[in-house]
Structure 1
Amino acid sequence: MAQVDGDWDCITKSPLGEQKSVFTVRSNGDTFTGQQAGAMGSLDVIDGKVDGNKLTWKMEMKVPMPMTLDCQATVDGDTLTGTVGAGAFGSFPLTGTRKG
């Protein structure tokens, strides 16, 4: 199992510009909990799953409009890459580096 746990400095490239956040991952077997906290507030991880070095999860966004985000990422050492799916708005690239 890859070491996915940690605090990640992330950037999501959205239509509103680059959204910086800290993504917290705490795994427990094949599931994980955590949150993504940034300037627009924090969102809790919902239905977080771990498959080797791959993470999938959902988040319920409230601002600027309510919507469920479908997220996935792959951890490679101290690097995280993935996408944030925002329904009809498409998917946005997510990148992150593990905090020291």
Structure 2
Amino acid sequence: MGIVGQWDVRIKTPIGSITATYDFVDDGGALRGSATSTSETVPLEDITVGGQRVTWRQSVTRPMRLHLDFDVVVDGDRMSGHSRAGRLPRSAVTGVRRG
């Protein structure tokens, strides 16, 4: 699973950029994950890997309560893609795996 590891992620939203640390762990063949920002840590749900493409869902309460859907492509130690919160515009997502 190419996504396993710790990632520094930036999400460019309409209200500004948000940075978070994402952790993806192989738990006996099942993929688990969490996202940590300055204000909270939340679990990742429905993580799906298809080749280099990885999707997941998460909910946040800060800066506002949102349910987010992520769709990224992992290329080595970099990820890029987007997130979407309901009808809001897509937000660009980029990340770099920590060494």
TM-score norm. by structure 1 comes to 0.87
Q: Unpaired runs of 5+ in structure 2?
A: none
1:50 aligns with 49
Q: Unpaired runs of 5+ in structure 1?
A: none
Runs of 4+ in 1 over 6 A off after TM superposition: none
| Seq. identity, % | 29
1:37-73 deviations in whole A, cap 9, x for unaligned? 1123122101111111111110012223322101111
Instruction: Let me know the Cα RMSD of the aligned residues.
Output: 1.6
TM-score norm. by structure 2 comes to 0.88
Whether contact under 8 Å (1:11, 1:18) holds in the other structure is yes
Aligned length: 98
Structure 2 counterpart of 1:86, which letter? A
Structure 2 counterpart of 1:84, which letter? S
2:6 aligns with 7
2:70 aligns with 71
Whether contact under 8 Å (1:5, 1:26) holds in the other structure is yes
1:96 aligns with 95
